[in-house]
Amino acid sequence: MREESMRAPFQVLAIPYRIGNKGITFAALKRSDDGHWQGVAGGGEVGETLLQAAIRECREEVGLGSRNTVRRLKSQASIPVAHFTDREHWPADVFVIPEYCFGLDCTGKDLVLSREHVDVRWGTYRAINTLLRWDSNKTALWELNCRFGNT
């Protein structure tokens, strides 16, 4: 059993994608608590690197994630600490935390959703972009789509 870890003041986001004969498809996950659609998202833990946090979150939320499947993106956002219950553990002068973005290659794999999500939808860039709630998710999706030569 893993000890309870201290939440670090950074967030990771990973957009699942698949490469197929008909092109690239992307996934959005529907949260069980508020019904919003988003990518895999969660907080880093003290002592983790960004990549370690992204891999852990992907494994926890969709059952996939490794150094070979998680790809760092340039997209980055800042999120107000008011969105996080762990903020009382952070210094008083921390008002926003960075969100670092990744792509998650799910080609040939099925996602196994955690209780955090109730549904997954796969679709084109346009279809998934329409579902996503948060601008940071839309920006990461756009970058990932561009990296596959689509603009």
Q: Decide: pTM greater than 0.85.
A: yes
In a domain, 2, yes or no: no
Tens-digit pLDDT profile for residues 81-94? 988 887 888 888 99
Is residue 39 a contact partner of residue 140, using CB atoms and an 8 Å limit? yes
CATH of the domain at 20: 3.90.79.10
Q: Is residue 97 domain-resident? A: yes
Distance in angstroms between the alpha carbons of the first and the last residue of the chain: 45
Query: pLDDT tens for residues 97-137?
Result: 999 999 999 999 999 999 999 999 999 999 999 999 999 99
Give the count of domains, the chain.
Answer: 1
Q: Identify whether 115 is part of a domain.
A: yes
Taking phi first (over 0 means left), then psi (-120 to 50 degrees means alpha), and beta for anything else, what does residue 44 get? beta
Q: Answer whether residue 23 is part of any domain.
A: yes
Residue 109 structural domain: 7-147
